[in-house]
Structure 1
Amino acid sequence: MKILLIFFILTLQLISVQSFNFSATGYSGGSLMLDSGKLWISDSAKYLAKLPDWRIIINDTKHERWINEGRFTLFKNTDENLMIFIRDLNTDDAGRYAVDVDQETRIYMILNLEEDSCCDVSKRVTVNSGETAVFSCEYSHNQIHHAKVIFKEERDSVKSVIHTTARIREEGRVHMSDDGQRNVLSVSITAVTADDGGVYLCGVWVRENSYNYSTLHTIHLHVITEVGVSTVTGSSGAALMIKCEHPQHKTNTRYICKESSAGCSEEWMENGDVSVDDDTRAGVLMVFFRELKAADAGTYRCGVKDSEYTERFTQLQLKVRHDGEYPKVMNESVHLGGEVKISCQIPEQQNKNYFCKEDDHKSCQIRRVSKDPQLTPAGSVGSEERVFTVSISNPSVRDAGVYWCGAETRDTHLTFISLTTKIQLSVISDDFSMKTEISIIIITGVCVIALLAVGFPLTVCIIGHKRTGKNCTAEKKTRGKTTSSDSGHDQTVSPDGASSAGLLYASVTFQKHQESLSEAGVTFRTSQVYSDYTTVVLPQ
């Protein structure tokens, strides 16, 4: 009885839900768009799953006209029909899908995928604003008799631009021609504006009994607008800063690239001598060339992206001269709390003086030292140069580092700062000075003591020699023999077996007998042994 009841319920569900079976063929790498022919009902939740495991892609979602999950989109076209759109097809997408249009309508779609070199690559096309954009789309040879279409993706829809079976068709500024012999659609858009940027889909429209589908190529059209052209010249080996200013687009992406035959690339920044800093608060992109080289010369674009497919830029012509005159390199030092004056020479034709300090990020911007640098013009030093002086007063240890002098030139959207003089500034602290002075005093004292230790005995000996007219004599401590007089006032020392050539250095100690009351002094006797250096120790 229960089995019969379950079978009855399932039968009622199958009768109440209408199902439709579609089949479409796409190409790996391309896109596919299917018109279900069923009305889009905004109040009904949409459901999309891949069979046989019922992997959910879109789960019971309601929307007025557009539901997107990754590469899969359900949307309402101008005829208010439900459209199924799958981008960038791959082999895993092949299979059977279930799509719930509403509570009473379900579509089963079988997607077949084929490989064809005609349809496996999306294209990127870049065009300047005001010029003509040209692109082409190939299609399979077995689709030659089908209608040809061009779509453009909008924010929450896909707009039909051209839909025709004719060989040539023109809609406003869009022109399409079909070359049936080469199986190629050629498309051109004249007088391109920023609004023309975006994603285009071109291909073949296949009509079936109750539904239609299209196999499509993807074209990414980028529209760029040139707002100005500037030229700057820097010296080989010197530094150069470029400010790309877009204050009205602070949150937008800023960039700088170098033009070449392959397009505009940012790979030139990988040489290690260039750093880029994007200041989002000021809307300024700062580019710092630490050491200009001949390879840096060329044409650059410094711009900002208005959207994913539109941007505006200033073209920059960078020239590098090799005159050998710049950069000038200087080494300066200043005591902590002192003052240093730096003379900077810059080309005469430059405009505004500029003084900056390199930081850890290898950028160079005006920096506050302990006291703001005072820039004082000091007149011209030649017909093609001028000099200005920077005074740094009361510096701290943090003010030590690499500084640059240069000149700033402003343009409409760019500011150039040519840095021609490099200064290595050292700040000497008081602790360092005091330690140095103490070290010098200690070394000097040690030297004086050493000299006294050697010089005093020598001096005593010389004085004694002058008074008596006799040379100092003494015994060798290890070999000498000492004789003493009991009288306590006459002591002599003579070496054993002494000869005039045997003893050169000796030490003699004279002691007075404790019980002696005599006031007699010490006398030296003539000896056969002479010494040029003698140490004499007298009792107190």
Structure 2
Amino acid sequence: MKKLFLIITFYLISGSVNCIDVISYPGGRVVIEIKNPISIRSSVYFCKIKTQTECENLITAQVSDLQTVVHKDRFSLFYSFTEGIISLIFRNLSLQDTGMYQIGEIRGWNHNINLRVKSDPCCGTKTVKGYLGQTLMISCSYPVEFKTNTKSFYRLDTIAGTELIRTSGTQPHQDRFSISDDRRNKVFSVNITDVREDDVGVYSCVVINEETAVSYHSLFTVIQLREVTDDTPESPDGTLTKSESAGSSINIIIITVVVFVLLLLAVGLVLIFYKLRCKRSQGLLDRNVLESLSEVSI
């Protein structure tokens, strides 16, 4: 470890001409990718620069270990030999993680990374509820500095996450997913059609910066899809949904039955009243006839 510290210090003294700004948010994570590095012959390291000659080692991986993912605390390193890309994952970021870092190969290349962890009301964790067979829309507000960046949507089923769809580079519709970006309101939306029980899980809203050889994906809002039910919510346009329509139909049937019973009662009362009136009229007629007959007899 002491030897490694001295080697890293040596490269700090010699200086690094490559530097990239990386922006992330509390509770989020960043995936930093270094494309097409020179063939790796020694260990890869990631350290936090303390002074001009001191860099605190955070994770180091041997070449042989990079064939699989190497983990240490909140950091992970792996190398795709087929694509020639080294990926560093920095998880569960906090404001205290803001600072200058360096990633590189001992006795080889290196890049300085200026990490800025910023607070923003748009970013954090939220929970959504899905409904079987329906379409679920998830909205992600993003900071203004990412207005023109590519937006992406991940499922966090691995350390790095699995990208499901992005606003550029692929079609806006992919399987059951579609994505759109409202840059005026700084919101991008993802629709998941035909929601299923196995959609329950953790997702993330992501912005991508690929303008330099060192690119990064900033996972800034975590979406927890916790429950999928058979109930159908109110549709966005305000029309009645399936469950509400069924409830309304039952209410209409009940109301119809009640009105019909009331009508029957009303008709029955009218008939009773009419019958009583007829009997009364008949009684008066019989009395008049008897009086007439009495007068004739006299």
TM-score by length of 1: 0.35
The residue type paired with residue 56 of structure 2 is: R
Match in the other structure for 1:98: 102
CA RMSD of aligned residues (A): 3.8
Match in the other structure for 1:190: 193
Name the SS of the counterpart of 2:145 in structure 1: helix
Select 1:35's aligned residue among 33, 36, 43.
Answer: 33
Are the equivalent residues in 2 in contact too, given 1:148–1:163 (CA < 8 A)? yes
Are the equivalent residues in 1 in contact too, given 2:61–2:77 (CA < 8 A)? no
What does 1:303-342 correspond to in 2, within 5 Å?
none
**Residue 83 in 1 paired to residue 87 in 2?**
yes
Name the SS of the counterpart of 1:54 in structure 2: strand
Question: Closer, same or farther in 2 for the Cα pair 1:59/1:79, shift >3 Å?
Answer: closer
TM-score by length of 2: 0.59
Return the offset for 1:210: 2.3
Q: Measure the CA separation in 2 of the matches of 1:226 and 1:186.
A: 22
Select 2:23's aligned residue among 17, 21, 25.
Answer: 25
Unaligned runs of 5+ in 2: 1-6, 231-298
Match in the other structure for 1:207: 210
Deviations 1:331-385 (A, max 9, x none): xxxxxxxxxxxxxxxxxxxxxxxxxxxxxxxxxxxxxxxxxxxxxxxxxxxxxxx
What does 1:454-533 correspond to in 2, within 5 Å?
none
Are the equivalent residues in 2 in contact too, given 1:25–1:113 (CA < 8 A)? yes
Are the equivalent residues in 2 in contact too, given 1:49–1:55 (CA < 8 A)? yes
Return the offset for 1:220: 3.8
What does 1:199-278 correspond to in 2, within 5 Å?
199-222=202-225, 224=227
Q: Measure the CA separation in 2 of the matches of 1:111 and 1:211.
A: 13
The residue type paired with residue 108 of structure 2 is: E
**Residue 72 in 1 paired to residue 70 in 2?**
no
Q: Measure the CA separation in 2 of the matches of 1:40 and 1:136.
A: 40
Question: Closer, same or farther in 2 for the Cα pair 1:146/1:13, shift >3 Å?
Answer: closer
Q: Measure the CA separation in 1 of the matches of 2:109 and 2:134.
A: 48
Question: Closer, same or farther in 2 for the Cα pair 1:217/1:38, shift >3 Å?
Answer: same
Select 1:107's aligned residue among 99, 105, 111.
Answer: 111
Match in the other structure for 1:56: 57
Overall identity of the aligned pairs, in %: 26
Are the equivalent residues in 1 in contact too, given 2:78–2:86 (CA < 8 A)? yes
**Residue 150 in 1 paired to residue 158 in 2?**
no
Return the offset for 1:94: 0.8
Q: Who wins on radius of gyration, i.e. which is larger?
A: 1
Q: Measure the CA separation in 2 of the matches of 1:89 and 1:72.
A: 11
Q: Measure the CA separation in 2 of the matches of 1:181 and 1:226.
A: 34
Return the offset for 1:180: 1.6
Question: Closer, same or farther in 2 for the Cα pair 1:195/1:57, shift >3 Å?
Answer: farther
Question: Closer, same or farther in 2 for the Cα pair 1:155/1:203, shift >3 Å?
Answer: closer
The residue type paired with residue 49 of structure 2 is: L
Q: Measure the CA separation in 2 of the matches of 1:195 and 1:81.
A: 31
Q: Measure the CA separation in 2 of the matches of 1:214 and 1:35.
A: 8
Match in the other structure for 2:274: none
Are the equivalent residues in 2 in contact too, given 1:17–1:104 (CA < 8 A)? no
Q: Measure the CA separation in 2 of the matches of 1:70 and 1:14.
A: 24
Are the equivalent residues in 2 in contact too, given 1:194–1:223 (CA < 8 A)? no
Greater RCO (CA < 8 Å, at least 6 residues apart): 2
Question: Closer, same or farther in 2 for the Cα pair 1:33/1:14, shift >3 Å?
Answer: closer
Unaligned runs of 5+ in 1: 1-8, 228-540
Q: Measure the CA separation in 2 of the matches of 1:31 and 1:90.
A: 10
Question: Closer, same or farther in 2 for the Cα pair 1:39/1:151, shift >3 Å?
Answer: farther
Deviations 1:253-307 (A, max 9, x none): xxxxxxxxxxxxxxxxxxxxxxxxxxxxxxxxxxxxxxxxxxxxxxxxxxxxxxx
Are the equivalent residues in 2 in contact too, given 1:35–1:212 (CA < 8 A)? yes
Q: Measure the CA separation in 1 of the matches of 2:79 and 2:190.
A: 26
Q: Measure the CA separation in 1 of the matches of 2:79 and 2:229.
A: 37
Return the offset for 1:195: 4.5
Return the offset for 1:126: 3.8
Return the offset for 1:99: 1.7
Are the equivalent residues in 2 in contact too, given 1:20–1:108 (CA < 8 A)? yes
Q: How many residues of Structure 1 are paired with residues of Structure 2 in the alignment?
A: 216
More strand by share: 1
Q: Measure the CA separation in 2 of the matches of 1:14 and 1:205.
A: 28
Are the equivalent residues in 2 in contact too, given 1:28–1:90 (CA < 8 A)? yes
Name the SS of the counterpart of 1:63 in structure 2: helix
Deviations 1:393-452 (A, max 9, x none): xxxxxxxxxxxxxxxxxxxxxxxxxxxxxxxxxxxxxxxxxxxxxxxxxxxxxxxxxxxx
Question: Closer, same or farther in 2 for the Cα pair 1:178/1:212, shift >3 Å?
Answer: same
Question: Closer, same or farther in 2 for the Cα pair 1:60/1:206, shift >3 Å?
Answer: closer
Match in the other structure for 1:171: 174
Return the offset for 1:181: 2.0
The residue type paired with residue 105 of structure 1 is: W
Return the offset for 1:42: 8.3
